[in-house]
């Protein structure tokens, strides 16, 4: 990071005029005496004055001047020491951080095409900056550059950006900055469509805000309502959750949202589908009229426009979707018969250099059957779907994220926002029915501008869907080459 002549807020010496610790204090030196050019610089002697008297007088003047000079010098030294201490503390806070080693992997322009801003340009609290750098964030991604300063002004935002380009931090950072940690009321609500995404988002908030005294709570359906009610009697500043559960708690009068000044909707297109929209509209009525609403998603269907017109006040529109699919993801298809799919998957496992893979099926039954087949082939495999008990889902999600297993078979439950950096391969064992689902599925690989691979197993019935999705997304899905291992790693 190049050196900047800037200090974070709260550090003296941030002004442009001569700074602290420069050896040139900006204020006037009270011991400095201006010379009057007309003043006589010699002592006029009385003609009758003896030489001895003159000498004594001169000596006393010299002593007085010398004493004043010594005092002045001591003052100057003390000031310099103090100013250097302040200056060094402003420089040393970064040096004392536990910053993870830099990620040296190649990144695409999806995350590198920035204006060159730094996080310190946004005048964030130093404790928040410490959390940002210790999370491993070096400088803002394009969506963060666009969103953070606008969100800090209090404006409503409608933001479109690709999967895996830093949307979560784009709203978590301004949310944490705006919270008054001395006011023990819910000030920010972040809504997400799935339980896994709620857990992940709350974890990001906790990590970014670990040096702040901000209380983060996560609440979702499928967990103990009693525990959530008990937790809400303790201070909560930021609430992350799914719409149904937060609405339930609000109706019971235990989740008080009258002081909530910011509502964030992540994966907004999903939240504004018929499944969630009625709950969200009821929830908004528990909030003050002057609340700020931030909508984030990769895709925005017509339902979002209707919601925007009714609830957002002159929203700031951000659209970073010049194309829909990520630049770092190579997409292939393989024509197969249904009965050949498992054999084809086995071949892919032997050919590809998989860090971790997510394999999508179109039904719960097929998820469990495929996971059993993969295990029989001798590969480590977990599975996850919506009909599993919540505790089991949480454990699978946690263990897969921590690298306990290489492959995860799942339904579209896992397409929304789930961010696992080690996933470099996505396989559509069953091809999705629409372009939106396809976009979110393949976006699980190639996170934050890294390279990834998507392989689609296409049957005769899928061929029209494949063509239509290519057209709608403006992307090219190539036929898989005979030697896929060489095609990927020697390109």
Per-residue tens of pLDDT for the chain, all 491 residues: 444 444 444 444 444 343 343 344 444 444 444 444 444 443 344 444 444 554 566 566 655 655 655 555 555 555 554 544 444 455 678 778 888 787 766 565 656 667 888 999 999 999 999 999 998 888 898 899 999 999 999 999 999 887 777 889 999 999 999 999 999 999 999 999 988 889 989 999 999 999 999 999 999 988 889 999 999 999 999 999 999 999 999 999 999 999 999 999 998 988 998 889 999 999 999 999 999 999 998 777 777 888 998 999 999 999 886 655 566 788 999 999 999 999 999 999 999 988 899 999 999 999 999 999 999 999 999 999 988 887 888 899 889 988 899 999 999 877 665 677 788 899 999 999 988 889 888 877 765 556 789 999 999 999 999 999 999 888 889 999 876 644 444 33
Per-residue pLDDT, 437: 87
Per-residue pLDDT, 475: 86
**Euclidean distance between CA atoms 105 and 136, whole angstroms:** 14
**Euclidean distance between CA atoms 261 and 281, whole angstroms:** 16
Spatial contact of 439 and 299, defined as CB atoms under 8 Å apart:
yes
* Other CB atoms within 10 A of residue 472 CB: 14
Q: Which residues pair with 188 in a beta bridge?
A: 238, 262
Spatial contact of 445 and 329, defined as CB atoms under 8 Å apart:
yes
Per-residue pLDDT, 486: 47
Structure tokens at 164: 């895996």
One fold for 109-319 and 329-489: yes
**Euclidean distance between CA atoms 125 and 185, whole angstroms:** 20
Per-residue pLDDT, 7: 41
**Euclidean distance between CA atoms 350 and 347, whole angstroms:** 5
**Euclidean distance between CA atoms 157 and 356, whole angstroms:** 34
329-489: CATH, from 3.40.50.1820, 3.40.50.300, 1.10.260.30, 3.40.630.30 = 3.40.50.300
Which residue reads 């690989």 in tokens? 445
Spatial contact of 426 and 441, defined as CB atoms under 8 Å apart:
yes
Spatial contact of 432 and 362, defined as CB atoms under 8 Å apart:
yes
Could you say which architecture CATH assigns to the domain 109-319? 3-Layer(aba) Sandwich (3.40)
Per-residue pLDDT, 451: 74
Q: For the residues of 70-101, what is the DSSP string, one character each?
A: HHHHHHHHHHHHHHHHHHHHHHHHHHTS-PPP
**Euclidean distance between CA atoms 205 and 214, whole angstroms:** 9
Spatial contact of 198 and 220, defined as CB atoms under 8 Å apart:
yes
Give CA angle at 418 (415, 421), nearest 5°: 125
- The ranges assigned to domains in the chain are 109-319, 329-489
């Amino acid at each position: 990071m190049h050196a900047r002549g800037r200090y974070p807020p709260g550090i003296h010496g941030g002004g442009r005029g001569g700074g602290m610790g420069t050896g040139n204090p900006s204020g006037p030196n009270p011991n400095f005496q201006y010379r009057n050019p007309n003043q006589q610089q010699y002592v006029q002697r009385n003609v009758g004055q003896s030489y001895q008297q003159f000498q004594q007088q001169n000596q006393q003047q010299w002593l007085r001047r010398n004493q004043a000079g010594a005092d002045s010098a001591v003052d100057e030294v003390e000031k310099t020491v103090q100013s250097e201490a302040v200056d060094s503390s402003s420089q040393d806070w970064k040096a004392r951080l536990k910053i993870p080693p830099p990620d040296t992997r190649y990144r695409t322009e999806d995350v590198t095409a920035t204006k060159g801003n730094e996080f310190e340009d946004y005048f964030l609290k130093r404790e928040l900056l410490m959390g940002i750098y210790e999370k491993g964030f070096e400088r803002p991604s394009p969506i963060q550059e666009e969103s953070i300063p606008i969100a800090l002004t209090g404006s409503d935002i409608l933001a479109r950006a690709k999967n895996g380009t830093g949307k979560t931090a784009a709203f978590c950072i301004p949310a944490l900055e705006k919270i008054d940690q001395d006011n023990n009321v819910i000030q920010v609500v972040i809504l997400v469509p799935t339980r896994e995404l709620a857990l992940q988002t709350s974890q990001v908030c906790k990590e970014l805000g670990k040096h702040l005294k901000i209380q983060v709570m996560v609440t979702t359906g499928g967990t103990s309502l009693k525990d959530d009610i008990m937790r809400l009697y303790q201070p909560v500043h930021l609430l992350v959750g799914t719409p149904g559960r937060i609405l339930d708690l609000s109706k019971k009068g235990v989740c008080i949202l009258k002081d909530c000044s910011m509502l964030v909707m992540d994966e907004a297109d999903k939240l504004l589908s018929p499944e969630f929209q009625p709950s969200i509209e009821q929830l908004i009525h528990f909030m003050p009229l002057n609340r700020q609403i931030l909508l984030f998603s990769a895709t925005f269907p017509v339902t979002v426009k209707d919601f925007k017109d009714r609830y957002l006040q002159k929203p700031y529109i951000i659209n970073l979707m010049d194309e829909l699919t990520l630049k770092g993801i190579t997409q292939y298809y393989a024509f197969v018969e249904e009965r050949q799919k498992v054999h084809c998957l086995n071949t892919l496992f032997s050919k590809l250099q998989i860090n971790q893979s997510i394999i999508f099926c179109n039904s719960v039954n097929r998820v469990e059957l495929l996971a059993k087949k993969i295990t029989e082939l001798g590969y480590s495999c977990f599975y996850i779907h919506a009909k599993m008990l919540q505790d089991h889902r949480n454990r699978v999600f946690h263990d897969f994220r921590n690298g306990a297993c290489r492959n995860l078979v799942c339904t579209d439950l896992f397409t929304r926002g789930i961010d696992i950096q080690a996933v470099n391969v996505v396989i559509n064992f069953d091809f999705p029915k629409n372009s939106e689902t396809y976009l979110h599925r393949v976006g699980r690989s190639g996170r934050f501008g890294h390279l990834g691979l998507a392989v689609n197993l296409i049957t005769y019935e899928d061929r029209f869907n494949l063509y239509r999705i290519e057209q709608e997304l403006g992307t090219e899905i190539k036929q898989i080459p005979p030697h896929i291992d060489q095609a990927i790693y020697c390109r």
